């Protein structure tokens, strides 16, 4: 792809996990709505195929940046590449996620679900805040899930060090995404950037149908209540495009509607503690750029 910096009037959106499921549909639909879509993906061939599909189906502008969220180095390189190519970011969709059957660690030494589903998105968001602030109204959309409600926050066991379970670890990562969204919105109050969390629904995707362990049983039992990826992407698309939510931040949405988030773990103190631990883990200055100016 071109390395020259692009300054465009059309809105630009970066989507992680953009080549499959909800992320793929989000990319296709936002391109139809006039966005220049930047696909963040591990697989360059899949990203190139989707880029071509976007051009063929809608004539929309698309680009891609290769990066694996299981590597903090690659997350930093992904952000640096984006900043080198584009002068601003209008919408960031932190969509990527994994289910894993057993506890593994990344090259950075973090439990993989924790890093891919949450921590790398925490870092990526920080690295792109300045680009988001250059937008007339930057929007951050974080993919959570209704299973956040059974997730647990234990500052001494964030990475399932003492006990790993597919459901417990996954639901905790989605709880962290919700808590991060709320704390980020609080810290960004007074800026042009908003942050909201999304439950896409029980979506029939390859990741769902191939979920490991007990989660696969839950997935198949949920099939009668599941939705297509097209329907699962609707709330993300709504939050990216609707004028109705231009000033809304720190909220949780399901079915394109604001929904009260209810979790005993989701407290002001726990949100601040998670932020502190996450910032330390990825070595970011959490008062940089828009966060400093908002404080």
Which positions are annotated as active-site residues? Answer: 170
Instruction: Give the separation between CA 144 and CA 176, rounded to whole angstroms.
Output: 8
Crossing angle of helices 213-221 and 166-187, rounded to 10° = 80
The tokens for 72 are: 């903090």
Give the DSSP letter string of the chain. Answer: ---S-B--SS-EEEEETTTSHHHHHHHHHHHHTT-EEEEEES-HHHHHHHHHHHHHHH---EEEEE--TT-HHHHHHHHHHHHHHBS--SEEEE------SS--B-TTSSBHHHIIIIIHHHHHHHHTHHHHHTSSSEEEEEE--GGGGG----TT-TT-SS---HHHHHHHHHHHHHHHHHHHHHHTTTSSEEEEEEE--SB--HHHHT--HHHHHHHHHTGGG-B-HHHHTHHHHHHHH-GGGTT--S-EEETTEE-----TT--HHHHHHHHHHHHHHHT--TTSHHHHHH-
């Amino acid at each position: 792809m071109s390395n020259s910096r692009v300054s465009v009037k059309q809105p630009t959106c970066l989507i992680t996990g953009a080549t499959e499921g909800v992320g793929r549909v989000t990319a296709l639909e936002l391109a139809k709505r006039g966005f220049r879509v930047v696909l963040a993906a591990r697989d360059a061939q899949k990203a190139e195929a989707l880029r071509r599909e976007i051009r063929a189906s809608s004539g929309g502008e698309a680009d891609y940046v290769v990066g694996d969220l299981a590597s903090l180095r690659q997350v930093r390189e992904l952000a640096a590449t984006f900043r080198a190519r584009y002068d601003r970011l209008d919408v960031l969709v932190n969509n990527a996620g994994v289910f894993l059957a057993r506890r593994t660690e990344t090259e950075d030494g973090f439990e993989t679900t924790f890093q891919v589903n949450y921590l790398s998105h925490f870092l990526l968001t920080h690295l792109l805040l300045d680009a988001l602030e250059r937008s007339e109204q930057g929007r951050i959309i974080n993919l959570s899930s209704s299973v956040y409600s059974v997730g647990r926050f234990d500052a001494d066991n964030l990475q399932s060090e003492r006990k790993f379970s597919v459901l417990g670890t996954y639901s905790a990562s989605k709880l962290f995404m919700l808590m991060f969204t709320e704390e980020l919105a609080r810290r960004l109050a007074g800026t042009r950037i908003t942050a909201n969390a999304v439950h896409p629904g029980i979506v029939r995707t390859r990741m769902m149908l191939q979920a490991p362990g007990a989660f696969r049983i839950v997935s198949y039992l949920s099939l009668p209540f599941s939705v297509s990826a097209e329907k699962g992407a609707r709330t993300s698309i709504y939050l990216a495009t609707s004028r109705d939510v231009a000033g809304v931040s720190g909220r949780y949405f399901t079915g394109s509607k604001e929904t009260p988030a209810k979790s005993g773990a989701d407290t002001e103190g726990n949100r601040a503690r998670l932020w502190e631990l996450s910032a330390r883990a990825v070595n970011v200055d959490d008062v940089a750029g828009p966060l400093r100016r908002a404080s």
